[in-house]
Amino acid sequence: MADYQSSLNEAMQIDGALGVALVDSQSGMALATAGNPDGIDLSVAAAGNSNVVQAKMRTMRDLGLNQKLEDILITLETQYHIIRTFSREEGIFLYLVLAKAKANLAMARFKLAGIERQLVI
């Protein structure tokens, strides 16, 4: 099992990683961050992506989908933003910003899932 900072440092080793945050979606606060993506304030992104996670969870409940939300992918012109929820801790997620030109999306999702499983909250 890994602590916050070593897990975020590991996420920064993913090809194309620009920044990562561990976020409490209930408060919208970044519990820890690593990296410094150009033009992205990870604290502001944490709050905004908390709204995304909460909206998706409400929609799933409204639709009667009794499934676990694993991740949400947001694709921009030059970046991927991955929101990876925690299987053991509701309301916590990892937010990873990747440079699209340098990232392997499938591998990034696989590695982020492994980091999530090892992280102790």
Interval 14-34 mean pLDDT: 95
Q: Are 21 and 32 in contact (CB under 8 A)?
A: yes
Residue tagged 């440092």 (tokens):
9
Q: What is the span of the domain harbouring residue 22?
A: 4-118
Residue that wins the pLDDT comparison between 37 and 13: 13
What CATH number did the domain enclosing 68 receive?
3.30.450.30
User: Comparing 38 with 98, which gets the higher pLDDT?
Assistant: 98
pLDDT for res 36 = 87
Token readout for 54 is: 């909460």
Summarised one tens digit per residue, pLDDT across range 2-21 is: 688 899 999 999 999 999 99
pLDDT value at position 1? 57
pLDDT given at position 48: 96
Q: Which two tokens stand for residue 79?
A: 């970046």
Residue range 53-99, pLDDT digits in tens: 999 999 999 999 999 999 999 999 999 999 999 988 888 999 999 99
Specify the number of domains making up the chain: 1
pLDDT per position as a tens digit, 43-56: 999 999 999 999 99
Tell me the H-state helices in the chain.
4-11, 42-62, 105-118
Q: Let me know how long the chain is.
A: 121
